[in-house]
Structure 1
């Protein structure tokens, strides 16, 4: 995979985003930001409620002010889409069923096909409160809707634009799975290095009395190896792990080698106080 996602070479126009009667400048600004995230730049506003230009839209757009500043304002929807060849209308509600309905993935591919044919396309988004009315939808060629939870189907207009802009962008990549950057390319260490780690760790654990009872050692070794073979360690990672084991092996704790697990506190106390051991055994009692 390449380090950066590349769109298929094209000078074809991207779809126009048309907001019908948007109410809040902040929402317009967030729409502009969503557009810029995925390479869209042409924004059209139909009768914005609070007028235009709008300082709140500019502030909400962050660094997408170029989209806000270039936005075109129209008095009615017919004028806003007059020069377009194909138009999608977005809606979360089922309408009369007289137009084809697409999901965002299929709609984005349709938009790419329109652009490939040299046609101009647009996507209509409605008001924050109730979206597009039926008369407005009747001016579109097809409907696009999103597979949201029916129990809460309402999307903020900027969210809806973001979803369509994302699908448009993805549909134009050489591969739809391309992403801007990837993790490091790692190569698993040769098995002999992993086997060396096995032997090193098992010897250290054996010295510390880890494998108890001895009859279960083979099964315990299998489990340790299963844990270590799962990640696919690199050479560098194996060196780190062996360094850890060597450090633990060299700098021995208070218990001597081969002593097994540290004794419980009660056992330590008994060893430190012979009289207490005798009392526990019933020795030295007057009874």
Structure 2
């Protein structure tokens, strides 16, 4: 099972955030933007004067997670009309110049936007793939954001959306990294016995100080936070090595009946000849 970090945005109201694509050229970028929004909890997508709204191309790039955002997407022909219900507007640009406004990086502006979003609707504008936002568009913005890159870099509009929304989501959230279910003490005890028997079989453990060596091995492995599957893999490796050496390990009947949650050990061993 894949384990991924989960976060809840507690320092912002993401329902008050909207991504606004101004004059997008390619429907694929609209779909990719919807997918980016879905990943970071932003449900409002606005498209202004698009060149194409090919639903097949949009939905293909949105994937399953972004489809609800595509279905609720709003389309306007005029930017001022699209922004009339917002209290705060942020523009994005890759071009800096004397006539352009003071700019901020996504990391710098994220805390401010999170605070604003609690009681205000905030629009984040992204320009045309070829020309970006015009000076006229930026004139409608309260602040301007730019993403620092190398001189040769060129970000796709959906990539720019990901970068900015990630910074906002990161600041607004407290990520939770779920731990996998670990092996039980019974499983670990059996594993340690098999490891110790294997190391003694290959004469690795000094005979005069076995207890200390066994203790050190247990301390080392205990820091790894092994799962049941990983324990079975180690057991299978050791059992196979013992079998190759012509030696066996005898466990108590209770240990032999220990629960087997998967077949990892079996997959690590060759079939023994009958």
Asked whether the two chains share a fold, i.e. TM above 0.5, the reply is: yes
Structure 1 partner of 2:146:
145
Please identify, of 231-240 and 94-103, the stretch whose mean Cα deviation from structure 2 is larger.
Answer: 231-240
Task: Check conservation: 1:17, 1:44, Cα contact below 8 A.
Answer: yes
Q: Distance in 1 between matches of 2:232 and 2:24?
A: 60
Superposition RMSD in Å: 4.1
Q: Distance in 1 between matches of 2:225 and 2:197?
A: 15
Within a 5 Å distance, the mapping from 1:30-179 to structure 2 comes to: 30-50=32-52, 52=53, 54-63=55-64, 64-96=66-98, 99-116=101-118, 118-152=119-153, 154-173=154-173, 175=174, 177-179=175-177
Task: Check conservation: 2:181, 2:227, Cα contact below 8 A.
Answer: no
Q: Secondary structure at the match of 1:13?
A: helix
TM (normalized to structure 1)?
0.64
Q: 1:196 to 1:22 in 2, by over 3 A?
A: same
Unmatched runs of 5 consecutive residues or more in structure 2? 247-274
Unmatched runs of 5 consecutive residues or more in structure 1? 254-287
| Higher Cα radius of gyration | 1
Q: 1:98 to 1:250 in 2, by over 3 A?
A: closer
Q: Secondary structure at the match of 1:148?
A: coil
Structure 1 residues 76-128: Cα deviation after superposition (integer angstroms, max 9, x where no partner): 32222222211111112323376342222332322211112x11111010011
Task: Check conservation: 1:20, 1:127, Cα contact below 8 A.
Answer: yes
Q: Secondary structure at the match of 2:149?
A: coil
Structure 1 partner of 2:202:
205
Count of aligned pairs: 235
Q: Distance in 2 between matches of 1:88 and 1:156?
A: 18
TM (normalized to structure 2)?
0.67
Q: Distance in 2 between matches of 1:188 and 1:229?
A: 17
